Structure 1
Amino acid sequence: MPSFSSWLGRSRKEGGHIDEQERKDLGSSVEDGDSRNLQRRSTKRELFRKLLKRSSTQSNSNRRSGQSVFYANNTFKAQSNLGIASPASPDKPPTSMADPNKPLPPPPAHSTQPEPVERPVKKLDRIISPITLPDLHELFSGAPQFFVRSEGHHTGAPHPSVAFPWDIELEIRDLSDHRQIHDHAWSSVSAWPHISRDVEKDPDAVKEHREKRRAHYLPRCRERPNMLSMQGLEPGTMGFQAALEMGVADALQVPNENPPDSDADGLADRRMEFLRDKNGVRPLTESTLLELLTGASTDYDENPSKRPTIELYTELFTRILFPPVRVTDSDDPYSLPVQIEALIDVLRSPNIWFDFSLVEWRIRLGQILWGLPTEDEILVNNEVANGLGDQKYWLLLQVLLSCELLLRLDAISADIDHGIEEPRKSELQRFDKKTTSSVRWSLILARQWLENIKIERTDSGATLDNKAPTGWLASFTSSPLAKESKIDEKVHNVQFYGRHQNRQLSGLLHFARKLNWPNLESIQVKVASNGIKIPETPLGTPSAGTPRSMSSQRSSSYFTNRPNMRRGLSKQRMSAMIHPQGWLSNSYISGFILPGEGMSHFLISTLLENDTVALARLGEEANLCGGFIYQDRSFWSTASIVGRVLAAGKEASECMGWVSSPVTPRGCGESWVHIEVELNPQTESHRDAKPRIWHKSAVERDGHIIGGADLSSVLPGDFIIPSDESIQAPLLIKLESFDLFATTDSTHTTPTKETPTPVSDMSELPSIRSYSAMIRFSVDVDGEEKREVNLALSNDVYFATVFPCVASSHMNILKTPTSPSFKSHEQPGSSATHLGTLILNHFVILPGLTNTGHPLHKGYTFTKLALSTVLAMPATLPFTSLLSPPQSPSGESTQSTTHTTNSPIPKVLVIDCTDNTMTAFPPRPSPSPHSLPGTKVRRNGSDIDILARALCAERGWNAMISRRGRVCLSCSVREASALGWRVVLRFA
């Protein structure tokens, strides 16, 4: 066993040090040996144990701190860069001292070890410092950001929007992914505030716009999807907002399936009881009703805030409503809020009024006003009601109450705007909770009425009649409250005309020119000769004007055959009867149109009803969600997949939901057609889940600039710059034919007898046949042998224009040693495959790092395939297989990100629809030219655009349309992720 002195020698050689007194004590103990007494031996053991304990304590502490130590002056000094081991344990360096509260001694005077070499501070910061928020603001300047936020009570689904929160430049903030309304006559298509492009050219439009600038109440109620966003910059596409709102579209809303007393007698009884209730509406004669409507229009034109509050109170509660049974405002019982609350209570009464939140009633509005009285059964919130005349009375009564409510809301808005009155938070909250969606839509109805309708009598001999009123209202008009009125002027003895008929006809001609209508000259002559107007007496046929179900003869619902999300096939067959001067054209000419898709139906119906040649050739039955072939052109609703695909072709044009194309189908002559399609598989697989718009946090996270990552830990190396170079070999595509094939159930007929019209005799209606559609192309890839590609338009998919962006000029922020951009910049002229393992051949940076768009965070992954590569893959191949294709030897037709990340954002497929014969990098000015006011976006279309969309229709992919020069690839991938769509079509 080695002696203690030998161990002490080794300790001294290894750099350990002890003080002089301990050395003497230990030395004497060794020399005397057994001659010392037991007390001295005990002292030596204690010193030895003390030394071991001190060494062990220092070793454990330094093992935790990960530092080396040296022993001097009875202390341990921590050194971070010196590799000197502890005597006790070479692998376990001791800590600085036994007492952690004692300060460290000064460093030794002399050291034989070299001083540590510190790296430059600046270089260290460039490697590990996260990107600061101001740097992110500069890096993503001009990049759109996506939001989904709720708006309040009874407003339905949340509201999606796109904004540039970090940019103040007007040319950036005014960027949009949809087109403006081109004609003032079409402004009522949307409840969203907007200005039509021709407002500066039309003096009447300028005057009306200035009048609207006065303070007025704007109900927080809009159509879904947003009809402004439905007209994307690319023909046949929609914008971000409409794409998200398709899952909660108004047409998908279903009324109460089991209303109380769901029959005609039940509805009539409820309405009769409602008029007897002292908390409801007074039983007004029809003449009094028309008089009050005329007075409301006069008040609106003369500014309602001019009338005293007590005068408005007296008229409301002595002529229209019964006085309130309780006092709701003790300070001012005659105030406007008291009157407003009483009107809201009446209008929100269930199962009494028309619910214009349902698309069906927005369309039928014109049928009630201008259709002939009939005993046909129609549906009111799933209840059958006989007698259109009674419906007209109740519609006018609802209009009156809504106008009275709107006038008072406008008056309060004007007082607040002028500083006369301060809004009370409690009243605003109570009003917001009480106004249901039906009440809000009634306010929109009132605004449209006051701005567009004037009332005129058509039978002067019936103005004075002292005979007692007859009919279902006789029991009320015989009461003392009604005897003071001696005029029994029926609602059928008056006519409702439009205030802006010239404006509407100008819009009709604009629509015809945009669609390249074959008989445009005859329409122009008819307009010039005042041949298109609302007739003094209704000329439309009663039942023929009612859109009918193709499966039954009952006119039960305008949208009985709308897409049924629970069925395997979509029934986009919306049948309507077209007649000269019918209620469809009267609705458009009057301008009395509620927001939504009705505008597109009224425009095409008015055009057809005033073209006798087209009406004779096409027949009177129309499928307003399908299309028709007429004089070597085909016309398609954008509700049809054929319209959305053909809109991308050469010489095609789109206007207000209709597409005109020179491509005509084989297998079908001049007629209306219906295209059978299957539900989008992506929609079918999520039919039981909530639509994407309800997942607000997921939408904002998946579209965020850093993909939902922690803002404090974002490094420059987390971003890549996707290349926009084409990976597609030279491609030549030609559309050979468009074919329609009759389906097995296309022999359906609608044998309904109709009243004769000037252009038709009483006969059975012709059937609108159903077809499946296919487009045939010839494809030549890089001069190889041409091959034929047949694509079936079998899925009802949608296309969205990617929101434009403006390239950032601060890309140098990414120039760090850990960033792929930095590495590529260090090797100018080298191919992208030489950039190391961090980047692949699709991550390159242009010289100078300018005008490249925006970077893409590693949370987003995508696969980029050439269009010819996707065409060569089987249609039955799973979508996930496309996202991980085998790498080709040349690497020219496939690119895929390899960033390893735990991000939940799904991978996106980018289909490159360009080749090296097209402009690879068009100049990207800042700002984009599409943002400049008044700039026209001109595009001629191409067969490759049609083929790419047809491919998506066959495979069942919703797709983003991304075009160079308008938006970068990074922003395209982010927006696709925000929408939850998986495919981006990239065009030159």
Structure 2
Amino acid sequence: MPSFPSFLKHPRAGRGQIDNQDRNDIRINMVNDTTEQEKEQQRKSKRHFFRNLLKRPSSNSKAKRGTLEFLKSPRNSQTHSRKSLTPASIMSNPNKPLPLPPLPSTIESESPRPTKNPQRIISPLALPELQKLFSGAPQFFARSEGHHTGAPHPFVAFPWDLEVEIRDLCDHIKIQNEAWSSITALPHITRDIQSNSTAVTEHHEKQKAHYLPSCRERPNMLSMQGMERGTLGFTAALELGVADALQEPEPLPDGYPESLSERREIFLNGKDGVRPLAESILLERLASASVAYHDDDYLKRQRPTVDLYTELFTQVLFPPSRVTDSHDPYSLQVQIEALVQALAAPVWVDFSLPEWRIRLGQILWGSPVENDTDDDIMVNKEIAHEAGIERYWLLLQILLSCELLLRLDAISINIDRGLEDAQPSDIKRFNKKATMSVRWSLILARCWLENIQIEIRSAVTESAKKAPAGWLATLTGTADLSDEADDDIIHDIQFQGRHQRRQLSGLLHFARKLSWPNAEALAAKITDNSIAISEGLQSNLAAGTPLSALARRSDSYFPTPRPDMRTELPKSQNISAVFHPSGWLSNSYISGLILPGEGLSHFMISTLLENDDAAVSTLGQEANFYGGFSYGGRSFWSTACIVGRVLAAGKGASECVGWISSDIVPEGAGEGWLDISVEPLSHNDNDKRKPRIWQKTSIETDGHVIGGADTSSVLPGDFTFPSDESIQRALSIKLESLDLVATDSVRTTAMKDPSTASSEFSEAPAIPTYSAEMRFSVDADGEGTDEINLSLKYDTRFVTAHPCVAMQYTELLKSPTSSAFRVPDRPGFWNSTGHPLHKAFTYTKLTLYNLLSLPAYLPFESLLSPSIPGFDAAHSTTHTTNSTIPKVLVIDCTDYSMTAFPVRPCPSPQTPHPPKHRFGSDMEVLARALCAERGWNALISRKGRGCLACAVREAGALGWRVVLRFA
């Protein structure tokens, strides 16, 4: 057995700061000088000593084992393990001396103090800290707007930042001209309002208390033109899946026949319907409604409701058969319910369908529409069938809508002035009875009252008095309801626009924005007042109707004008129209009678062409509003066409109100209209069953700043900064040509022959259909030129990534503990970076050149694998996550030649962004063409406007998988 001094010299018992001889002397003296009192105190404190001894800090496991061996008795050291040690075995020898406490220098060397506060590093980020980190980051939402309002409303907001400069950031451009204001039903401010005193006055007029129907166009036309040319905004991108053109008409109520004539007969013969109005009374009521709307004192005078009740139910409607308000039988609420009930009858035009919004002007100014079936109506045993019956019914619908709107505005003014309170029961009852068709009729009424003025020009003639009588007459006919009203027949009326100069100014703006070849000749015609609404209600030539791009094409050029017209998804877009001077297309735009939706773009290009004789003679009278045409050394494309969306990324392109102008003229086709054949994007079964916009939780979770994680457990190390450095070699890309190849299919259009009085239809000249290809030359680092051909095969969409503001609280993430957090080592990083990205989001970053070198047949998922050529772990996420957010492919479309661009300022709202026309290059065209060939919807993210992390989050909210990153 070793001696006691040698046992104290065990190499694992301590670290030699003291000499061995000194240690032996100290311990021997301690044993000899120990008194009985000290031994007794030692026994009483043995438990306290044992606990302190076990808590002694140790730098490694070997030191711990040495200490435990020191505590063992020699007899048990060979037979017992550490797990079998007990306090009794430790203190079995009462004469064993206590070990010396470690010196201060030893403690410091064994347990070094952390350089930072451990509690600060391991504690999760509090909600105020998250709000500071992402105060300038956009967040994505989809919320329902109430009952009977359709799909949820997607939008982007900055809920953690109240600065006006940040809250006003948007991913789309504002409406640039007051003439285009009717494109949307949403409240908005046009860009030119501050420079036009008249526009300022009209804007303030619209801010007065008035009723705003809880319906609007889908997709949102404010978001249809993104900041990047040829792109959409976030809202419009999601609403494409629930576009108005995809909706079916409301089903007929139980008990109503399928025939429109039978429904109208039942409606007019009932005692709850509309009185059979003479055309003179109808026009007088329309004129008086217009006067009331524009007279500020009309509603302020607070006319007795009894007078309004008497006028309505003695001249327009039959009185109600039962009392609905016992407290006030003549109240405005009673009148409103009667008007809603009349407008809800299935006998009117349903303007919730986009094709009817476009055809509104055709009913008013076009040739009378002949029905393909006998639409005779029998009233009091008299059969009435008139060629212009649809025009009469439309004006009657407008009259009822105006009467209803004026009463709703009166209640809104009373509530605003505190004269009455909004009753929840009345609101609930109104929302239940007011169908979507009724709400769109109210939008039509306001558009009519604000833009249309009725002019009566000629007096009655003797021959007109002898015209045969009929209960239902058209505005172009000579019949009246009764013999007593024969002297009230009106022969010549005009629907004039109240703001025709405003509309023509907007047309000139449109022409100059698109670099129209004959823009100055158009300006001269406007100056000479040579452009006006056509005389008379009928046009000399038949005009085709540009129905919605997603509407079903009818068997005839004039589809049957029925409110219950069905729509379905087409295989391709094939809608045409025929131009002629002063046609109903031009009249619709010049008058300002434009309902929200895509119709404005059709009307503007039609008015531009119809007032350019050289263009019509070159292009022909037939047009396709969803394709494009070549004229005057330029090409013009609808944004509904994939060629236009790709060419919009070029340097010489421009965009305005749904049309794109480019200096690239396609080869393989001469001047004229073109149609492009594309394939729809393939979706999985889940997307077919339920559009993304209905997945409200997924939109908000997959685009949230922490990816749906628990806010109470978010650590600083859960974030990383995506590398935004260019990883691509210097490229020289040139668009060589846009080639069109004629397809085998030939599309023809049925057009009514104006030379015949019958309803026969003949084939119009077909607009040729082509498939589009683009040819590029690519030179990487001067190693040689490669030729790349890309086919624009799929109808892909592009969205502008929402702008963000660089964060200013980076110190919250300067001490991360996660290995996934990387801080690029470059000067000024913490002052110029964007936002961090939560670990729930993953992405793979590839260069555009590497992607082009990969085979086109590779599945998309294989491009996200680390094993593919060009994968750089330093610029892509390599960590694994249990998040369900799909991985995103980031395509780097920059190169080393673009590194001289200035870094992103901080903060950036006050820094003006470069004008849009400075953007654009053949590289951007190539990137979009690649997406069109592969069938990828892509998010366009540009340095200086938004960070890469926010773009990845937005892609997650949209459910898209590709981000194009540009300089």
Q: Structure 1's 126 and 959: CA in aligned 2 closer, same or farther, altered over 3 A?
A: same
Kindly report which structure 2 residues correspond to 1:597-636, keeping only aligned pairs within 5 A, or say none.
597-636=598-637
Alignment partner, residue 259 of structure 2: 266
| C-alpha distance in 1 between matches for 2:356 and 2:374 | 9
What is the match of residue 215 of structure 1? 209
1:178–1:230: 8 Å Cα contact kept in structure 2? yes
Following superposition, the deviation at residue 886 of structure 1 comes to 2.2
Does the 8 Å CA contact 2:247/2:567 hold for their aligned counterparts? no
- Correspondence for 2:767: 768
Query: In structure 1, what is the Cα distance between the partners aligned to 2:561 and 2:946?
Result: 40
Paired residue for 1:960, among 923, 935, 939?
A: 939
Shift of 1:698: 0.1
Q: Does residue 883 of the first structure (1) align with residue 864 of the second (2)? A: yes
Query: Per the alignment, do residues 296 and 532 of structure 1 end up closer, same or farther by CA in structure 2, a change over 3 Å counting?
Result: same
Residues 1:149 and 1:635: Cα distance change in structure 2 (over 3 Å): same
1:282 corresponds in structure 2 to 275
Over 3 Å counting, the alpha-carbon distance change for 1:421 and 1:256 in structure 2 is closer
How far 1:875 sits from its partner (Å)? 1.3
Aligned residue runs from structure 1 range 627-646, under 5 A: 627-646=628-647
Aligned-partner residue type, residue 849 of structure 1: W
2:728 paired residue number: 728
- Distance, in Å, in 2 between the alignment partners of 1:583 and 1:379 is 26
Cα distance, 1:629 vs. partner? 0.7
Are 2:173 and 1:179 equivalent residues in the alignment? yes
Tell me the amino acid that sits aligned with residue 327 of structure 1. Answer: V
Q: 1:332 is matched with which residue?
A: 328
Structure 1 residues 575 and 138, CA gap change in structure 2 (3 angstroms): same
Shift of 1:847: 3.7
Instruction: Give the SS at the match of 1:779.
Output: strand
Please say if 1:975 is aligned against 2:954.
yes
TM-score, structure 2 normalization: 0.84
**Partner residue in 1 for 2:365:** 370
CA separation of 1:258/1:677 partners in 2, compared to 1, >3 Å: closer, same or farther? farther
Q: CA deviation at 1:210?
A: 1.7
**Alpha-carbon deviation of 1:782?**
1.4
- SS class of match (2:195): coil
- Give the corresponding residue for 1:405: 404
Distance in 2 between the 1:649 and 1:298 partners? 50
Which consecutive unaligned segments of at least 5 residues does structure 2 have? 1-43, 57-63, 89-97, 376-383
- CA, structure 1 residues 554+138, in 2 after alignment: closer, same or farther (shift >3 Å)? same
Alignment equivalent of 1:556, drawn from 542, 545, 559: 559
CA separation of 1:729/1:386 partners in 2, compared to 1, >3 Å: closer, same or farther?
Answer: farther
Q: Report the Cα offset of residue 126 of structure 1.
A: 2.4
Residues 20-58 of structure 1, C-alpha deviation per residue, up to 9 Å, x if partnerless? xxxxxxxxxxxxxxxxxxxxxxxxxxxxxxxxxxxxxxx
What is the CA-CA distance between 1:452 and the residue it aligns to? 0.2
List per-residue Cα deviations over 1:55-76 (Å, max 9, x = no partner): xxxxxxxxxxxxxxx9957999
Find the counterpart in structure 2 of residue 191 from structure 1: 185
Query: Relative to structure 1, is the Cα distance of residues 459 and 78 closer, same or farther in structure 2, using a 3 angstrom cutoff?
Result: farther
- 1:361 partner letter: W
Amino acid of the residue matched to residue 860 of structure 1?
F
Q: What residue number does 1:925 align with?
A: 905
- Contact conserved, 2:716 with 2:813, CA < 8 A, in 1? yes
- Tell me whether 70-79 or 323-332 shows the greater mean CA deviation: 70-79
Residue among 945, 949, 952 paired with 2:928? 949
Please identify, of 669-678 and 308-317, the stretch whose mean Cα deviation from structure 2 is larger: 308-317
State the 1:434 CA deviation.
Answer: 2.2
* 869-878 or 280-289: bigger deviation: 280-289
- Which letter maps to 1:243? A
Q: Which residue of 2 aligns with 1:81?
A: 55
SS in 2 for 1:773: strand
Alignment-derived partner of residue 590 in structure 1? 591
In structure 2, the residue matched to 1:16 is none
Q: Distance in 2 between matches of 1:663 and 1:984?
A: 26
Residue 233 of structure 1 corresponds to 227
Contact 2:845 2:876 in 1 (8 A): yes
| Residues 1:122 and 1:584: Cα distance change in structure 2 (over 3 Å) | same
Q: Which amino acid aligns with 1:357?
A: S
Instruction: Name the CA distance, whole Å, in 1 between partners of 2:288 and 2:962.
Output: 56
Letter in structure 2 aligned against 1:355: D
- The 8 Å contact of residues 366 and 539 in structure 2, kept in 1 or not, is answered as yes
Report matched runs for 1:637-786 at 5 Å. 637-682=638-683, 686=686, 688-746=688-746, 748-750=747-749, 752=751, 754-755=753-754, 765-786=764-785
Q: Distance in 1 between matches of 2:502 and 2:411?
A: 31
User: 3-state DSSP class of the match of 1:455?
Assistant: strand
1:26 matched to which residue of 2? none
| Counterpart Cα distance in 1 of 2:513 and 2:374 | 36
Q: Tell me how far apart the structure 2 counterparts of residues 352 and 137 of structure 1 sit (CA, whole Å).
A: 54
User: What corresponds to 1:47 in structure 2?
Assistant: none
Name the CA shift for 1:559/1:788 in 2 (closer, same or farther; >3 Å). Answer: farther
* Secondary structure of 2:898's aligned partner: coil
- Aligned position for 1:815: 814
8 A contact 2:733–2:778 mirrored in 1 = yes
In structure 1, the gaps of 5 or more residues are: 1-69, 97-109, 821-837
Aligned letter for 2:342? V
SS in 1 for 2:897: coil
Aligned counterparts of 2:294 and 2:374: Cα–Cα separation in 1? 35
Once the two structures are TM-superposed, the CA of residue 753 in structure 1 deviates from its matched residue by 5.6
Larger mean CA deviation between 197-206 and 785-794 belongs to 197-206
* 2:197 pairs with 1:203: yes
Query: Equivalent residue of 2:395, what SS?
Result: helix
Q: Does the C-alpha gap of structure 1 residues 963 and 437 become closer, same or farther in structure 2, counting only changes over 3 Å?
A: same
Aligned to 1:858: 839
CA contact 2:228–2:916 (8 Å) conserved in 1 = no
Partner of 1:344: 340
Aligned to 1:254: 248
Which stretch shifts more, 916-925 or 538-547? 538-547
1:168 aligns with 2:162: yes
> Matched residues in 2 for 1:75 and 1:324: separation?
99
Equivalent position of 1:4 in the other structure:
none
Q: CA deviation at 1:374?
A: 3.9
Aligned-pair identity (%): 58
Structure 1 residue 488: deviation in Å? 4.2
Residues of 2 paired with 1:617 and 1:559: CA distance? 35
Cα distance change, pair 302–325 in 1 and its aligned pair in 2 (3 A): same
2:245 and 2:567 in contact (8 A); partners too: no
The equivalent of 1:299 in structure 2 is 292
Q: Which amino acid counterpart does residue 280 of structure 1 have in structure 2? A: G
The alignment's C-alpha RMSD in Å is 3.6
Q: Is the 8 A contact 2:844 2:871 kept in 1?
A: no
8 Å contact 2:843–2:888 — kept in the other structure?
Answer: yes
Aligned to 2:83: 91
Relative distance call for 1:685 and 1:658 in structure 2 (3 A) is: farther
For 2:561 and 2:323, the matched residues in 1 are separated by: 44
Which letter does structure 1 place at the counterpart of 2:886?
Answer: P
Q: Secondary structure at the match of 2:272?
A: coil
Q: 1-side partners of 2:690 and 2:45: how far apart?
A: 69
Distance 2:813 2:775 in 1: 47
> Is the contact made by 1:619 and 1:766 (CA closer than 8 Å) also made in structure 2?
no
In the alignment, does 2:120 pair up with 1:126? yes
Measured in 2, the distance between the counterparts of 1:394 and 1:504 equals 27
> Per-residue deviation at 1:377?
3.8
Equivalent residue letter for 1:231: Q
TM-aligned CA deviation for residue 807 of structure 1: 0.2
SS of 1:200's equivalent in the other structure is: helix
1:867 aligns with 2:853: no
Structure 1 residues 755 and 691: CA distance shift in structure 2, 3 A = same
Instruction: Give the total of aligned pairs.
Output: 870
Task: Go from structure 1 to structure 2 and tell me whether the alpha carbon gap of 1:818 and 1:547 turns closer, same or farther (over 3 Å shift).
Answer: closer
1:643-682 deviation line (CA, Å, top 9, x unaligned): 1011111211110000111101111001111000000124
Give me the TM-score of the superposition, normalised by structure 1.
0.82
Contact map agreement 1:448 1:594 (CA 8 A) in 2? yes
Partners in 1 of 2:566 and 2:292 — Cα distance? 43
Specify which of 879, 885, 892 is matched with residue 905 of structure 1.
885
Residue 19 of structure 1 is matched in structure 2 by none
Say whether 1:521 aligns with 2:502.
Answer: no
Letter in 1 for 2:157: A
Q: Is the 8 A contact 1:544 1:755 kept in 2?
A: no
Q: What code does the residue aligned with 2:55 have? A: N
- Closer, same or farther in 2 for the Cα pair 1:216/1:312, shift >3 Å? same
